[in-house]
Amino acid sequence: MKKRSTFFLSIFFILIGSVSYAQQPDLQYFRANDKTGLNVFETSKQDTVTWDNKLKVRIGGAFGLQYQALDHQNDANNLVHLISNFNLPNANLDLDVQLYDGVRMHLRTYLSSRHHTETYVKGGYIQIDKLDFIKKDFAANIMKYVTIKIGQMENNYGDAHFRRTDNAHGLFNPFVGNYIMDSFTTEIGGEVYYQSNGWLGMLGITNGRLNQSVADTATKGAFIAKLGYDKQISADLRLRLTGSLYTVNATSNTYLYGGDRGGSRYYKVMDILGASTNDFSGRINPALKTDMTSFMINPFVKYKGLEFFGVFETTSGRDKVADAAFTGERTWTQLAGELIYRFGAKEQLYAGGRYNTVKGQLPGVENDMVKVDRFNIGGGWFMTKNIVAKLEYVNQQYKDYPVGNSLQGGKFDGFMLEAMIAF
What pLDDT is stored for residue 21 in this prediction? Answer: 45
What pLDDT is stored for residue 345 in this prediction? Answer: 96
276: number of CA atoms within 13 Å, CB side? 3
What pLDDT is stored for residue 1 in this prediction? Answer: 46
Tell me which H or E stretch contains 9: helix 2-21
Tell me which H or E stretch contains 419: strand 411-422
Q: What end-to-end distance do the CA atoms of the chain give, in Å?
A: 26
Cα-only R_g, the chain = 22
The CA distance from 165 to 390, in Å, is: 13
Q: What is the pLDDT of residues 235-272, one digit of tens each?
A: 999 999 999 999 998 777 888 999 898 999 999 999 99
Point out the residues of the chain with pLDDT beneath 70. Answer: 1-22
What pLDDT is stored for residue 203 in this prediction? Answer: 99
| Nearest CA among 106, 242, 177, 93 for reference residue 376 | 177
What pLDDT is stored for residue 16 in this prediction? Answer: 52
DSSP state of 89: P
Domain boundaries, the chain: 2-422
The CA distance from 377 to 382, in Å, is: 17
pTM, to two decimals: 0.92
What pLDDT is stored for residue 11 in this prediction? Answer: 52
Please name the fold of domain 2-422. Porin (2.40.160)
What pLDDT is stored for residue 205 in this prediction? Answer: 97
DSSP state of 77: -
DSSP, residue by residue, 380-391 = EEEEETTEEEEE
What pLDDT is stored for residue 212 in this prediction? Answer: 73
3-state secondary structure (DSSP) of residue 184: coil
